[in-house]
Amino acid sequence: MTGPARTVLAGLDAVRSDVEDLYRDLHRHPELGLREHRTARKAADALRQSGYDVTEGVGGTGVVGVLANGDGPVVMVRADMDALPVRERTGLPYASTATVTDTDGREQPVMHACGHDVHVSCLVGCARLMAERRDAWRGTFVALFQPSEEDGAGADAMVRDGLTAKSPRPDVVLAQHVLPYPAGYVGTRAGSFLSAADSLRVTVHGRGAHGSAPQASVDPVVIAASIVVRLQTVVSRELAATTPAVVTVGSIHAGSSPNVIPDRAVLEINVRTYDNATRTQVLDAVKRIVRAECEGARSPEAPEFQRLSSFPPTVNDEEPTRRVADAFTAYFGDDAHTVELQTASEDMSEIPQAFGVPFTYWAIGGIDPDRYAEAARRGTVAQDVPVNHSATFAPVLQPTLDTGVSALTVAALAWLGETDAREPGSAPPA
């Protein structure tokens, strides 16, 4: 199965500098979700130059490029495009200094702190290679660039905007994510891979009073503090030790003066689980605890719950994952691994679900291998290796980009390169 892949990837040296230049450019010019106009234009222009039929503006800023190359399977490969409201501290010569104005009129820094610039650059490189060596495969290659993954809105936006009518129905959907593993690493995992994630905003009500007269109040700060402490028992005391889940209170806001007891407190809570039964159990427990603490404190109003975002679990289908894992082992050798369960979340699975087709999603590494090895030797990986969403997260250019381009190409050709794709009279693959 590596013959077509090696044929197509023989062109990697010729595209490497362009992929690196695109990565630096995208990293320097990050864009938040549903504002990825420049990024989407770059991707669309690159696809058109390679002969793709391109549809822009899907779900806002999404791009779909279709390259039909005779009868055969249809493979869709997805990359996400959006950045994060983070101020970059990498010190790179191509570091972002970009800012945007949010809906409240405040200036926010923007950074590609999650590696979506890697994803876009690698898919552009893969798409170009596939177009340049159409003699090595047969079928249809679909390159999909998705907006707004970070808030879980982008895949749904593309689906609601008619994605299934704007792209051929794929036989499989493929995607990858750069993670804090050594660059050159590729890792697959069948079944549960990424968690579901649900973010809630909870408003608890009290009765305001002077700080010198607490007896006249119902203090929402104390209610909020009790909720935070009690929520720590959901995972530790209500779930089996073998059932993974995370409950995080990431934000609390209450009051504006040290001598005024406010009349409300707002908590933002994030829940991560791996199956629907646990998801329901944990979310029910969060709401039960909030209501009970409010009732116990004599809160004058019932608490309010607002769903901020919701990500489905990413559960890789067995057969395509096995096929990709076998192709990676054949091509990458010892750099192909089984990756452990991740507590990060993704909305990518909504795309294959809309088409009713299987998918698989894998990891590539982005950390300088020597840096990672030294941290592993000292036992300080957690402290010394920047993780996604960190202000210092910046995948090394190589071998990260080469690995990403190669992984996408090898995986796609596990379907598209299955049959003899040569046209009559064409030269055999090298």
Yes or no: say if 24 and 94 are a contact pair by the CB < 8 Å rule.
yes
Check pLDDT > 90 for residue 105.
Answer: no
For the segment 126-140, the average pLDDT, to the nearest whole number, is 98
Q: Which two tokens stand for residue 413?
A: 């050709």
Q: Which two tokens stand for residue 338?
A: 């089984």
Architecture of domain 196-311: 2-Layer Sandwich (3.30)
**Other C-beta atoms within 10 Å of 70: how many?**
13
Sheet strands (E) in 61-125 = 62-69, 74-80, 99-101, 107-109
Alpha-carbon distance 109 to 90, whole Å? Answer: 14
The CATH fold assigned to 2-194+313-416 is Aminopeptidase (3.40.630)
Q: Which two tokens stand for residue 361?
A: 């999603």
The residue among 409, 407, 406, 380 whose CA lies nearest residue 180 is 380
**Other C-beta atoms within 10 Å of 417: how many?**
27
**Other C-beta atoms within 10 Å of 156: how many?**
18
With a CB cutoff of 8 Å and minimum separation 6, the contacts of 38 are 29, 31
In the sheet that holds 74-80, the strands lie side by side as 53-58, 62-69, 139-146, 74-80, 172-182, 359-367, 186-188, 336-338
Upstream peptide bond of 399 is cis (omega within 30 degrees of 0): yes
DSSP one-letter code for 429: P
Least confident of 48-57, 104-113, 131-140, 286-295: 104-113
The residue among 293, 162, 151, 165 whose CA lies nearest residue 225 is 293
Residue range 42-66, pLDDT digits in tens:
999 999 999 999 999 999 999 999 9
Q: What percent of the chain has pLDDT over 70?
A: 97
pTM of the model: 0.92
3-state secondary structure of 149: coil
For the segment 238-247, the average pLDDT, to the nearest whole number, is 97
Q: Which two tokens stand for residue 364?
A: 């590539």
Location of structure tokens 């990500």? 311
Which pLDDT value is given to residue 419? Answer: 56
Location of structure tokens 């504006």? 256
For the segment 13-24, the average pLDDT, to the nearest whole number, is 98
- The secondary structure element, H or E, covering residue 283 is helix 276-296
The residue among 98, 145, 103, 184 whose CA lies nearest residue 407 is 184
Taking the mean position of all CA atoms in its chain, how far away is CA 195? 11
Q: Do domains 2-194+313-416 and 196-311 have the same CATH topology?
A: no
- The ranges assigned to domains in the chain are 2-194+313-416, 196-311
